Structure 1
Amino acid sequence: MNTRLHDILHRRDEITSLLADPDITSNNKKFTQLSRDFAEIEPVAEHAEKHLQLVQQLQDNQEMLADPDCDHELKELMEEENLELKQAILDSDEQLTLLLLPKDPNDQRNAILEIRAGTGGDEAALFAADLFRMYSRYAETQGFKVSILSSSEIGIGGYKEIIAQVTGQGVFSRFKFESGTHRVQRVPETESGGRIHTSACTVAILPEAEEVDVNIRPDDIRIDVYRASGAGGQHVNKTESAVRITHAPSGLVVTCQDQASQHKNKAQAMKVLQARLFDKEQSEANAERSGIRKDMVGSGDRSERIRTYNYPQGRLTDHRINLTLYKLDQILGGDMNELIDALLSHHQAELLAAQ
Structure 2
Amino acid sequence: MAENNNILEKLDGLEARYEEVSTLITDPSVIADQQRYVKLTKEYKDLEDIMKLRQKYINCLNGIAEAKDILMNEQDADMKEMAREELATNEELQPKLEEEIKIALVPKDPEDAKNVQMEVRAGTGGDEACLFAGEIFMMYKKFCESKGWAVSVTSESEGAVGGFKEICFAVSGDNVYGTLKYESGVHRVQRVPVTESNGRMQTSAATVAVLPEADPFEVNINEGEIKWDTFRSSGAGGQNVNKVESGVRARYMWKNPNTGEVEEILIECTETRDQPKNKERALARLRTYIY
TM-score, scaled relative to structure 2 = 0.79
The residue aligned with 1:12 is 18
Q: Which amino acid aligns with 1:253?
A: I
CA distance in 1, matches of 2:194, 2:249: 36
1:244 aligned to which of 234, 239, 250: 250
Deviations 1:273-325 (CA, angstroms, capped at 9, x unpaired): 212222xxxxxxxxxxxxxxxxxxxxxxxxxxxxxxxxxxxxxxxxxxxxxxx
Q: Which residue of 1 aligns with 2:32?
A: 26
C-alpha change, 1:83 and 1:244, in structure 2 (3 Å) is closer
Find the residue that maps to 2:216 and give its secondary structure. Answer: coil
What SS does structure 2 have at the residue aligned with 1:92? Answer: helix
Task: Please name the residue that 1:266 is paired with.
Answer: 279
CA distance in 1 between partners of 2:90 and 2:273 (Å): 63
The correspondence for 2:268, drawn from 256, 270, 273, is 256
Percent identity between matched residues is 32
**1:151 to partner: Cα distance:** 1.3
RMSD: 3.2
Secondary structure at the aligned position of 1:188 is classed as coil
Amino acid paired to 2:50: V
Note closer, same or farther for the CA distance 1:252–1:111 as it changes in structure 2 (3 Å cut).
farther
Q: 1:23 Cα deviation (Å)? A: 1.3
Distance change >3 Å, CA 235–CA 215, structure 1 → 2:
same
d(CA) in 1 for partners of 2:223, 2:40? 28
Match of 2:163 in 1: 158
Paired position in structure 2 for 1:196: 201
Unaligned runs of 5+ in 2: 1-6, 257-262
Q: Which runs of 4+ in 1 moved over 6 A?
A: 59-62
Cα displacement string for residues 92-124 of structure 1 (whole angstroms, at most 9, x for unaligned residues): 212211221221323332221111111112211
Closer, same or farther in 2 for the Cα pair 1:232/1:260, shift >3 Å?
farther
Q: Structure 1, residues 204-262: CA drift from partner, whole Å, max 9, x if none?
A: 1112222122222336x542526468647665498595413234113362321525565
1:225 aligned to 2:229? yes
Cross-structure match for 2:45: 39
Q: In 2, distance between residues paired with 1:157 and 1:214?
A: 37
The number of aligned residues is: 272
Amino acid in the other structure paired with 1:144: W
Query: Is 2:124 aligned against 1:119?
Result: yes
- Aligned partners of 2:117 and 2:170 also within 8 Å: yes
Report the 3-state secondary structure (helix = DSSP H, G, I; strand = E; otherwise coil) of the residue aligned with 1:225. Answer: strand
AA aligned to 1:172 is: Y
Q: Structure 2 CA distance, aligned partners of 1:271 and 1:237?
A: 26
| Structure 1: distance between partners of 2:27 and 2:248 | 44
73 and 132 in structure 1: CA distance in 2 versus 1, 3 angstrom threshold: same
CA deviation vs aligned residue, 1:309-349 (integer Å, no higher than 9, x gap): xxxxxxxxxxxxxxxxxxxxxxxxxxxxxxxxxxxxxxxxx
TM-score when scaled to structure 1? Answer: 0.66
Which residue of the partner structure matches residue 207 of structure 1? Answer: 212
Q: Distance in 1 between matches of 2:163 and 2:177?
A: 25
1:275 and 2:281 correspond:
no
Structure 1 unaligned segments of length 5 or more: list them: 279-355
Structure 1 pair 189–72 and aligned structure 2 pair: CA distance change class (3 A): closer
Deviation digits for residues 165-199 of structure 1, max 9, x if unmatched? 11223332332221111101121223121001101
Match of 1:170 in 2: 175
Is 2:98 the partner of 1:93? yes
1:187 is matched with: 192
SS at match of 1:200: strand
- C-alpha spacing 1:72/1:153, structure 2 compared with 1 (3 Å): closer
Quote the offset at 1:56 in angstroms.
5.5
